[in-house]
Structure 1
Amino acid sequence: MLYRSPVQWLMILAGSLIYSIGLNGFLITNHLAEGGFVGISVLLLYLFHLPVGATFFILNIPLLFIAWRMFGRQFVLNTGVGVIGVSVFSELTKFIHIPTEDRLLAALYAGVVTGIGLGLIFRTGGTTGGADIIARILRHYRGVGMGRTLFSIDLIVILMVIVVIGKQVAMYSLVALFVSSRVIDFVIEGAQSGKALTIISENHSAIVAAIHEQLERGTTLLQAMGGYTGQSRQVVYCVVAREEVVRVQRIVHEVDPKAFVTVSNVHEVLGEGFTYDVTVNSPLKRRFLKNKN
C-alpha cells in the first residue's frame, strides 16, 4: 500500500467535507436515504435519532480491526482517514439544511454533491470504509467481485428503506445513488475523456488522409485479417473528442458508405491533442502560432 503525501490526505478530507455537505444539506434535510454503511447510519438516525457520524464510525470499528489483521496497518491508515473524515464532518455540517420542494431535484443535487466528494476521495486512492472493506474481505477469501458485493449491500440498504420509509423515498434515493455514481466516474476519470473509433474500409488510406487534414487528429493503422475471408486488411484506430465523433462519421461515410465503424468510450485521454503540450512541428501548434500572429 502506497504512503500518501499531505496533499493527498487533504484531498481525502476535502472530499469527506463535500460528501458530508451533500449528505446533510440534501439527503437528510429532504428525508432521503443513502447506500452502504452511511445509508444504515441514516436509517438509524430516522428511527432512533442516533447521530450519523458516531454511528458510522462505530459500525466501521470492527471492520477496521479485521482489515488491520488482513491487509496491514497502511491500508487501515488510508481507509481510516476517510472514515474519520466522514464521521467528523457529517457531525460538523449538521447545521446545513437546503430544503427542496421537489424531492427529485433534491435527489439530483444530492447525487452531484456527494459524487464530487466521493470522487475526490477515490481519485486519491482513499475509501470511506464500510462496504468497501467487506467487499475486499470477500474478494480475498471467496473471490467475489467487489462490484457485486457493493451492489448487493446497496440493494439491501434500499430494501430496508422501502420497509422503513417507503417506496417513494427509496426510488428518489436510487436516483441520487445513480447520479452520484456517474459523477464519481467523471471525477475519477477526468474531463479529458473521448471516443475511440475503429474503422474497417477498403479505402482506409483516403479516410486517414481526410481525418489528418480536416480534424488534425492522429490515427493508427492496425494489421488485421478477416475471419471469414482470410484476407489481410488495415484497420484504422482513432481517438477524438466527443464533439468530433459526428465529423469523423461524416468523413467515413463520404469516402466509403459501406465502411464498418464502431465507436466506444475512452476514459481520461492523455497525450498530444488532449493533455500534452504539442511540439512546434505539429500541425496543431503551427496553426495556433499562425492564428496568433
Structure 2
Amino acid sequence: MKNILLIFLGSIVIAVSISFLGMPNGIADGGLIGIALLLYHAFSFSPAVVNFIGFIIILLVSYKHLSKSVLMKSSLTVVLVSFFTFLTESFGEPVGDGLVGGIFYGFFMGIGFAIILYAGSSIGGGSTIALVLKKKFGWNVVLVTFISDVVVVLAGVMIIGVLNTLYTIIGLFVGKLTTDYIIGGVDSKKAFNIISPKNEEIAQRVTEELSSSATYIKGSGVYTNNEHHILYIIVKNYTVVKFRKIISEVDSDAFVVVNNVKDVSGGTFFVNKEPEPQLQVEESQEENQENKTE
C-alpha cells in the first residue's frame, strides 16, 4: 500500500513537471517522455496520449522478457503519469525564462523519479527496452539507456532549437543530481573507524545514546607492532554531529576516519533502545586480522 501511494505521489509530481514546466517552456527530455514532449513541440500532440501509446507498444514488445511485478508497477506508473498529465496539460504557462524552466523542470522531475524508484517502479520507456536487450543479447542497461536518451535529446535540436536543447541538457543534469541526492539521502549513513584506548567507553555510549551497534576489528600498528582494536560503527547522518561530540568528550585525541556509506543491508547495525542496552560487539574473523593501522 505504501509503494502504491508513493507511485501516485511520484506520478503527480512528474505530470505537473511536464504540464507546467516542460510543455510551456520548450523543454524536452530523454526517453519516452522526451519523445512525447518533442512531438508536442513539433505537432502539438498530447504528451499524455503519446506517452501512453508509446508504453503500450513497448509493453507488447517486452512482456515476455520481464517479470510480471516489474511490468505491473511500470504499467501503473505510466498510466498514472499519462492520466495526470492529461488532466493538467492545458494549464501550464511559460515562466518567461527558458533556463529557469529547464532547471526547475529537471528539479521536479528528479524528485518525482526518485519517489517512483523508491517505490520499486519505473517510468518505462528506454530503460524497459534496455532491460529486454540485456536479457536477449547481454547488452549493458546503463549504456543502452544513455545512448537512447542522447539520441532523443539531440533530435530536439531540429525541433526546439539549439538553445532549448541546451536548457534541456541542464535540466537533465539537475534532475540526475536531485534523484541521486534524494535516493542517497533518504536513509544515508556514515561509517566511522576509530582507534582509541577508550574504544569500549565510546562504543557503550553509542549504543546507549544513538542506538547503533558496534564492531571490533583486530589490528596492529606497523611502526609500534602493538595490537589494538579498531572500532567500526555505522551511524545515521543526522546523528553525526552528536557522535563526534561523544568521541571528543571521551577521547579528544582519538584517531577517526569517516566514510560515506551508499548502501547498507543485512547484519545488525542499529539496535532498539532498551532500558538497559547491551553493547553488541563482534570480533572480526581471520580476513580482518591482518588490518594494519598506525
Q: TM-score range with shorter-chain normalisation?
A: 0.7 to 0.9
Q: What secondary structure does 1:70 align onto?
A: coil
Mapped contact 2:184–2:262 kept (Cα < 8 A): no
Residue in structure 2 matching 1:83, options 53, 78, 81: 78
Task: Tell me the matched-pair count.
Answer: 272
In terms of mean alpha carbon deviation, does 105-114 or 88-97 score higher?
105-114
Indicate the residue corresponding to 1:264 in structure 2: 260
Q: Deviations over 1:34-58 (max 9, x none)?
A: 1211011111111122211121222
Indicate the residue corresponding to 1:193 in structure 2: 188
State the distance in 1 between where 2:179 and 2:265 align. 17
Mapped contact 1:220–1:237 kept (Cα < 8 A): yes
Residue in structure 1 matching 2:64, options 45, 59, 69: 69
Mapped contact 1:193–1:269 kept (Cα < 8 A): no
Indicate the residue corresponding to 1:221 in structure 2: 215
| CA spacing shift, 1:212–1:226, aligned 2, 3 Å | closer
State the distance in 2 between where 1:234 and 1:211 align. 12
In terms of mean alpha carbon deviation, does 218-227 or 124-133 score higher?
218-227
Q: Deviations over 1:211-249 (max 9, x none)?
A: 755894446234355797898653322223435546766
Q: Deviations over 1:138-170 (max 9, x none)?
A: 221233332222222222222223444334323
Q: Displacement, 1:134?
A: 1.0
Residue in structure 2 matching 1:58, options 40, 53, 56: 53
Q: What secondary structure does 1:183 align onto?
A: helix
In terms of mean alpha carbon deviation, does 59-68 or 158-167 score higher?
158-167
In terms of mean alpha carbon deviation, does 184-193 or 29-38 score higher?
184-193
Mapped contact 2:31–2:149 kept (Cα < 8 A): yes
Mapped contact 1:118–1:184 kept (Cα < 8 A): yes
Q: What secondary structure does 2:81 align onto?
A: helix
Q: Displacement, 1:31?
A: 1.4
Q: Deviations over 1:102-131 (max 9, x none)?
A: 434323322332223222322222222111
Report the residue type matching 2:66 in the other structure.
F
Q: Displacement, 1:184?
A: 3.1
TM-score normalised per structure 1: 0.75
Query: Is 2:40 the partner of 1:41?
Result: no
Residue in structure 2 matching 1:12, options 7, 31, 36: 7
Cα RMSD over matched residues? 3.7
Structure 1's unaligned 5+ residue stretches are: 284-293
Q: Displacement, 1:30?
A: 1.6
Q: Displacement, 1:77?
A: 2.8
Mapped contact 1:67–1:75 kept (Cα < 8 A): no
Report the residue type matching 1:254 in the other structure.
S
Q: Deviations over 1:30-86 (max 9, x none)?
A: 211112110111111111222111212222223201222223555433322122222
Q: What secondary structure does 2:191 align onto?
A: strand
Query: Is 2:160 the partner of 1:168?
Result: no
